[in-house]
Structure formats: C-alpha cells, structure tokens
Amino acid sequence: MKRVMLYFGSFNPVHKGHIALAEYAVTQDLCDEVVLVVSPRSPYKEAAELAPEMDRFEMAEIACAASEYPDKIKPSAIEFLLPKPSYTIDTLRYLQQNFGSEMQFSILMGSDQIARLDGWKEYEKILEYPVYVYPRRGEPAAGFEGRITVLENAPLQDFSSTDVRERIGRGEDIGGMLDEGVAAYIRRKGLWSPAVRIMTLTAQLAADPENTALYIERGKLHYRMGEWGPALNDFNSVLRIDAEHVEAQQFAQMVQEILEFRYKDIYNP
C-alpha cells in the first residue's frame, strides 16, 4: 500500500521552504509520496491576495517538477473539484472513500496550524490520521501530545508565502525564496506586482480613508516606481491626517526636491 503524505495549503505562492519540507519527508522515509494539496480557498484565511487557483496549481507543478524527487513530490487539484469552502476533513473523507484501499494517508502541517487545530471542522477525526508537524519560527508545536509526531529536525521555514508576496509587491528581490521557474511564472503573469498591490491598497483606502499606514505603503510604491505626483499626494494625505508624521514628512520633502530639480532642469537650464 502506497504511503501518501498530504501537505495542505494555499501555496500562494509555493516557495523553497515548502519543497524543502516535502523533500525532507521523502528523505526520512516518512512516506512514499508527498502530495501538495492546493486549496482553492481556505475557510481560515482571507482571500484578498489569493492568486487564481490554477495559477497556484501551475506554480506548484513547476516547483514539484524542479524538486529533488519529481516522481515523489506532486501537486493535486482534488480540492478544486470538491464543494467549497474546502475543509481538510471533507477532503480526507473523499480520498479515503475513493483511494483508501490502495493508499495510506498521513498529514503534514506547520506548528502554527497545530496550535489552532481545535478550531478546525471535526479536528478529532483529523487526528485519527498520522499527523506530522514541522517547526515554524516563534510557533512551538504545543498540544495534542502523543497524537502527533513533531519533526524536530525538519528544515525550519524562515519565510512565508506572505513574505514572498510582500517582497514582490515592494519590488524587492525574491530569488532566494522561489524556484526560478516559479519566479518567472509570477513575472510573466504579473502576480502580486507593485501595480496590483497599489490597486489593493486603493480599494482598502476607499473603505478606510483615514488609515495612514495604507497611504504610506502606497506612497512608497509610487515613489519606487518614479510616480512622483501620486507619491506626493499620498504623503500629503498622511500629513493632513497627522501633521507630525515623521516618515511622511521625510518622503514628501524628498519628492518635492526631486520635482523642484526636474522643473529647474527642464525649464530653467
């Protein structure tokens, strides 16, 4: 009987930490195959920055194919076919009913997830399966002692998909976080780009027009993109709300100096 370890997640996007954990599970002979079960939408997460499900699946395909064990680490779109929102126990039931005669299932999850497992649908039923827990920084694998296996020596994930998305949104380098094929896919599709992040921030500001942190973030993005007018507007918006905001003062001054230099350079040679 094939031992299949199910690694559930939104993989938004899949990164090197995910694949390193899957490779570790295979290397340690914890399973015959690791399956990255790409969730269409987690009922426990916000969907605001969730990339389209097929984009996330295709990125998972690329990352798995580039792994050390491409024949043993694979993605699955099974949850795309099941009722939404996707609950782990419902997927487990479906897999057990349809493939349980030929596969033995286990689950791989992070210590941050095990800490909140008692809030999941029918979590006691989930614990009837072998559950392997890998460490997350600042998230001890506490609770359910004797019912889970903590992988103390598993590679520690120093960054998350959220960190990757934020770096992309700020236009920063993500080379050390992603497989190059995944990074190329993100660039080609424009996922989580500064322009997309600006659109998201604009929508958030429409609902919360006094939020200075949102104006600052959007202003910085405009600044990095050389969009001086929109950047100055955002920093001035902060100063209208909080005239003593130091960061907004500094950025507004820098933008004004840039504009003054350009005006002088173009019109007063």
- 154-185, pLDDT tens digit by residue? 998 788 999 999 889 877 888 899 999 999 99
Percent of the chain exceeding pLDDT 70 equals 94
Q: What is the pLDDT of residues 41-65, one digit of tens each?
A: 655 554 457 899 999 999 999 999 9
- Side-chain half-sphere exposure of 39, counting CA atoms within 13 A: 23
- Name the one residue in this structure whose structure tokens are 């015959």: 32
According to the model, what pLDDT value does residue 42 have?
58
* DSSP code at position 157: B
Q: Are strands 2-9 and 131-134 parallel, antiparallel or unpaired?
A: unpaired
User: Which residues sit opposite 106 in a β-bridge?
Assistant: 5
Contacts of 189 (CB under 8 A, 6+ apart): 55
Q: 264 vs 158, which has greater pLDDT?
A: 158
pTM of the model: 0.80
CA angle 134-157-116, nearest 5°? 50
Mean pLDDT of 216-229: 91
Question: pLDDT tens digits, residue range 24-33?
Answer: 999 999 999 9
Helix (H) or strand (E) holding 27, with range, is helix 16-27
Neighbours of 102 (CB within 10 A): 9
